[in-house]
Amino acid sequence: MEFTGTHILSIKQFERVDIDRVFAVADSMKPYAQRNKVTRVLQGAILGNMFFEPSTRTRISFGSAFNLLGGNVRETTGFENSAISKGESLYDTARVLSGYSDVICMRHPTAGSVSDFSKASCVPVINGGDGDNEHPTQALLDLYTISNELSSKGRSIDGLRIAMIGDLKYGRTVHSLCHLLCLYKNIYVSLVSPNELSMPEEFVSELRSAGHEVIISEELTPNISNVDIAYSTRIQEERFPSLEEADLYRGRFRLNQSIYTQYCEPNTVIMHPLPRDSRTEANELDSDLDTNPNLAIFRQANNGVLIRMALFALVLDVAHLVDKYADDVPWFSGRGC
């Protein structure tokens, strides 16, 4: 794909060669993300970071990524802080805000809305999650994490065995990840969810058409015993008709150290897009896993900065200039994580 000036709305836009390109640029961003070097390559550029749904990692890592490339960030969070709450259309908002920015990142509760917004925008728009539809940058950082975790064990993405666990109906991260896995070969996917929250049929048939083996189950333990990656997800309570209905499914699939020791292979990597729901009634990933070296959730979250830096550098066509505008940092940068 041509990255320069392109909206990043769906993971379906990417071919395998594009993924390789994003991952290579992400690798080259490590000295900057680890604060060993600074670059001014986006000095003067403005990111409009528009989040109309709660977000911690995605919003802040988009902003940090832009700052780390030397650019400035303007934030809008929540409808109540935007003229959308006065009845302004997405079209008008896009026309106006794209006049103030060089690139826009957007999260919105309605599926398809980020794409609609991009049609009226004069600058590239990156989808930070649109309802239960897609979360393309999360899928990229998830696959980048999978690739890094497997390569440290001498493996590649082809031949991956993964269990996706939890709310697979409303979870946009697993939807985008399924699309992405279709670009690879010989994948085994175990889909573990309550029947009512199962992966929509279109994703299952897409995986099967790509030649992948797909198992569908309501049981956790037999399905985490033969996988490289156990990818847990939160019940997406905000997408349910009522909280009472979401409560029915909380805590169905809990992973803790004793279940891990009893059922998982010794090197199974645990992932989660976060936030993990740590309330007692849910506790899908117990904190007793925090010292397990195969718990990759914080490495995964850190990778979000690298991937988002790579996307900004590619979309704004500065990937080849980042080092040219770089300096060493004068401050102590011996980071502990």
**Alpha-carbon span 22 to 5, nearest angstrom:** 15
* 137 lies in the site for ligand NCD, by CB under 6 A: no
Q: Which of 37, 135, 179, 234 is catalytic?
A: 135
Q: Which of 57, 95, 254, 299 is catalytic?
A: 57
CA 139 to each of CA 150, 172, 237, 301: distance values in angstroms, whole numbers, following the listed order:
16, 9, 21, 12
Nearer to ligand NCD, 121 or 236 (CB): 236
List all residues 6 or more positions away from 154 whose beta carbon is below 8 Å from its beta carbon.
none
User: Which of 76, 101, 118, 138: binder of ligand NCD (CB under 6 A)?
Assistant: 138
Number of residues that bind ligand NCD (CB under 6 A): 11
Q: Quick one: how far is CA 92 from the chain centroid?
A: 28
CA 68 to each of CA 35, 72, 98, 226, 325: distance values in angstroms, whole numbers, following the listed order:
8, 9, 21, 39, 12
| Position closest to ligand NCD via CB | 234
**Alpha-carbon span 122 to 138, nearest angstrom:** 24
Query: Binding pattern to ligand NCD, positions 44-63, x when CB under 6 A?
Result: -------------xx-----
Active site (annotated) includes residue 57: yes
User: Which of 7, 37, 135, 175: binder of ligand NCD (CB under 6 A)?
Assistant: 135
Q: Which residues is 127 bridged to in the sheet?
A: 106
What is the smallest separation between the CB atom of 57 and ligand NCD, expressed in angstroms? Answer: 5
* 71 lies in the site for ligand NCD, by CB under 6 A: no
Q: Which of 39, 58, 145, 233 is catalytic?
A: 58
Q: Read off the tokens for 172.
A: 């946009």
User: Which of 129, 232, 268, 284: binder of ligand NCD (CB under 6 A)?
Assistant: 129
* 187 lies in the site for ligand NCD, by CB under 6 A: no
Pairing of strands 37-39, 326-328: antiparallel
Active site (annotated) includes residue 272: no
Active site (annotated) includes residue 58: yes
CA 282 to each of CA 60, 220, 279: distance values in angstroms, whole numbers, following the listed order:
25, 15, 5
* 252 lies in the site for ligand NCD, by CB under 6 A: no
Evaluate whether 195 touches 229 at the Cβ level (below 8 Å).
Answer: no
Nearer to ligand NCD, 135 or 212 (CB): 135
Q: Which of 86, 153, 280, 291 is catalytic?
A: 86
Active site (annotated) includes residue 107: yes
What angle is formed at CA 60 by the lines to CA 57 and CA 61, rounded to 5 degrees? 75
* 108 lies in the site for ligand NCD, by CB under 6 A: no
Nearer to ligand NCD, 69 or 274 (CB): 274
Q: Which residues are catalytic?
A: 57-58, 86, 107, 135
Applying CB under 6 A, the residues found at the interface with ligand NCD are 57-58, 129, 135, 138, 172-173, 234, 236, 273-274
